[in-house]
């Protein structure tokens, strides 16, 4: 046995999972135990670490507590029904691979029936479960450990099989479902590619966690930037290195995808960011990209946008707490373009994710409807729908004051709005990389 992976809901079952992990580490000292954050080195990418650990494990323990089945997102909807839910992804990886998947029932939980599970997880009910009761914890865990040792002995003695107890040799996993990618098959964060010569250049952004919004004591903070809340981006995704340019938009026009040819105000086309495009125009463009490439292009969600803009920072700007000099194109930035016009998209340094102009130059449409604050906002990076007509805009522009170009600053416009400081960038999820740049 090359490792044991413990899957659980942190917000519900962390106590049971932590106690189980401690007992397994004590009684199986020769086996790596992967137990979520406790097993991730400081600074390591969360999503990649999870996928790598699954590849190195022979057993997946699925800790199921009393509320595991019906756990909900704060904004509504059952977590298990979400294809980006990490617990679901972990279980699918185990079921599709050669891992021994063991449901572990704790806190009086009972095994769900097949009709209670999403179709993709129904095979879980055919896996023999092991119950651990609070009153007989030590005995029940002891029986689990005996069973795990038998699994190890059996695996080591199979004819023609590589003994999985050799740490460092990943379990060979069968072809995974389309939405699960093995970490070793993913391009490294920062990899640039495009799906065709006329389409935007994309950069791979890693999975991770961040605090969305601004803290109460941030200078120039607006109340619509709170409450500050944690968000998990569960897997890598691809983001436009730059806002969509006039060259890319004009290719859209030339291909017959639209008749709207935006005015460039005499600032030039080519590598200038496209302006005078509405949210509706942006939706037409990403729909055309989907049709031309067969890839799931869309606008970034507001959470994805802020995660990509911050690039691991929690400061007012991606580079620090002050506007700085020649960091971007906005008022107070000391840029040669400020208060004059947009700058070509390659005029300023990229952030830590390799993305340019996430703040300044042009404001950017995102997918989300406007909400006056983050009460009830998704915690998983998905777009947030709403009943209002206004759409959310992020990033600040060439004529914006510096406080509007903070990473947390947000605004709104009607989806039909076309202005000379307003454009967009694209993202592509799930990630596919057919052509490297």
78: domain CATH number is 3.40.50.10140
Rounded Cα distance between 183 and 171, Å, is: 13
Instruction: Pick the last residue of a domain from 134, 153, 184.
Output: 184
Q: What are the DSSP calls for 195-247, one per residue?
A: SSTTS--EEEE--EEEEES--TTSTT--GGG-S-EEEEE-S-EEEESSSPBHH
- Per-residue pLDDT, 403: 96
Written as six digits, the tokens of 158 are 């199979």
- Per-residue pLDDT, 64: 95
Instruction: Write out pLDDT tens, residues 381-428.
Output: 999 988 778 999 999 999 999 999 999 999 999 999 999 999 999 999
175 and 203 both lie in a single domain: no
- Alpha carbon 36 to chain centroid distance? 17
Q: Where in the sequence is the domain holding 179, given as residue range(s)? A: 4-184
Written as six digits, the tokens of 59 are 């057993």
- Per-residue pLDDT, 172: 27
180 and 191 both lie in a single domain: no
- Per-residue pLDDT, 52: 67
Q: How many CB atoms lie within 10 A of CB 256?
A: 8
Q: Would you write out the chain's pLDDT as a tens digit for each of its 437 residues?
A: 468 999 998 888 888 988 998 899 899 988 888 875 555 555 655 556 666 667 778 899 999 999 999 999 877 889 999 887 888 888 888 887 767 899 999 999 999 998 999 998 999 988 889 999 988 899 899 999 988 887 765 444 443 333 333 222 222 223 233 333 333 345 678 888 888 889 999 999 998 999 999 999 999 999 999 999 999 998 889 999 999 999 999 999 999 999 999 999 999 999 999 999 999 999 999 999 999 988 899 999 999 999 999 999 999 999 999 999 999 999 988 888 988 999 999 899 999 999 999 999 999 999 999 999 999 999 999 999 887 789 999 999 999 999 999 999 999 999 999 999 999 999 998 655 554 33
Instruction: Pick the last residue of a domain from 143, 167, 184.
Output: 184
- Per-residue pLDDT, 46: 55
pTM: 0.61
Torsion of CA 181, 182, 186, 188, to 10 degrees: 140
Provide the 3-class DSSP secondary structure of residue 292.
Answer: helix
Rounded Cα distance between 198 and 436, Å, is: 14
141 and 210 both lie in a single domain: no
CATH of the domain at 389: 3.90.1580.10
Question: How many domains does the structure of the chain reveal?
Answer: 2
Provide the 3-class DSSP secondary structure of residue 145.
Answer: helix
Instruction: Write out pLDDT tens, residues 216-228.
Output: 999 999 999 999 9
Burial 200-210 (b: 16+ CB within 10 A, else e): bbbbbbbbbeb
Instruction: Write out pLDDT tens, residues 331-351.
Output: 988 888 988 999 999 899 999
Rounded Cα distance between 234 and 236, Å, is: 7
* C-beta pairs of 11-17 under 8 Å, 24+ apart in sequence: 11/71, 12/65, 12/67, 12/68, 12/71, 13/63, 13/64, 13/65, 13/68, 13/106, 13/107, 16/63, 16/65, 16/106, 16/107, 16/132, 17/63
110 and 201 both lie in a single domain: no
Nearest to 243 by CA among 411, 398, 357: 357
* Cis status, amide bond into 227, omega within 30 of 0: yes
Instruction: Pick the last residue of a domain from 144, 162, 184.
Output: 184
Rounded Cα distance between 303 and 427, Å, is: 13
């Amino acid at each position: 046995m090359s490792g044991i992976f413990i899957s659980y809901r942190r917000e519900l079952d962390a106590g049971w999972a932590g106690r189980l992990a401690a007992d397994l580490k004590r009684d199986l000292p020769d086996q790596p135990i992967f137990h979520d954050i406790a097993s991730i080195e400081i600074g390591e990418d969360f999503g990649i670490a999870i996928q790598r650990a699954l590849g190195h494990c022979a057993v997946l323990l699925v800790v199921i507590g009393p509320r595991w089945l019906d756990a909900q997102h704060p904004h509504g909807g059952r977590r298990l029904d979400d294809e980006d839910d990490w617990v679901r992804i972990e279980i699918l990886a185990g079921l599709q691979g050669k891992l021994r998947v063991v449901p572990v029932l704790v806190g009086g939980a009972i095994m769900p029936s097949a009709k209670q599970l999403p179709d993709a997880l129904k095979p879980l009910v055919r896996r023999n479960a092991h119950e651990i009761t609070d009153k007989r914890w030590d005995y029940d865990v002891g029986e689990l450990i005996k069973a795990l040792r038998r699994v190890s002995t059996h695996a080591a003695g199979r004819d023609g099989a590589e003994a999985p107890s050799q740490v460092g040799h990943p379990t060979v996993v069968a072809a995974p479902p389309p939405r699960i990618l093995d970490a070793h098959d993913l391009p490294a964060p920062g990899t640039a590619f495009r799906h065709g010569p006329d389409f935007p250049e994309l950069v791979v952004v890693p999975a991770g966690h961040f605090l969305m919004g601004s803290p109460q004591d941030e200078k120039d903070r607006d109340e619509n930037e709170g409450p500050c809340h944690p968000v998990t981006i569960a897997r890598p995704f691809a983001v436009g290195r730059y806002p969509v340019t006039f060259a890319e938009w004009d290719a859209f026009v030339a291909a017959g995808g639209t008749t709207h040819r935006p005015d460039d105000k005499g600032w030039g086309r080519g590598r200038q960011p496209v302006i005078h495009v509405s949210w509706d125009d942006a939706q037409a463009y990403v729909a055309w990209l989907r049709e031309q490439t067969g890839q799931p292009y869309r606008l970034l969600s507001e959470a994805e946008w802020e995660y990509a803009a911050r690039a691991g920072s929690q400061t007012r700007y991606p580079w620090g707490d002050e506007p700085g000099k020649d960091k971007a194109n906005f008022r107070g930035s000391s840029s040669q373009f400020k208060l004059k016009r947009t700058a070509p998209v390659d005029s300023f340094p990229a952030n830590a994710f390799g993305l340019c102009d996430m703040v300044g130059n042009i404001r950017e449409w995102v997918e989300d409807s406007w909400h006056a604050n983050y009460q009830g906002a998704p915690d998983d990076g998905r777009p947030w729908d709403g009943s209002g007509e206004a759409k959310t805009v992020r990033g600040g522009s060439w004529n914006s004051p510096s406080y509007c170009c903070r990473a947390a600053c947000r605004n709104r416009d009607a989806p039909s709005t076309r202005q000379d400081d307003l454009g967009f960038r694209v993202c592509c999820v799930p990630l596919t990389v057919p052509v490297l740049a």
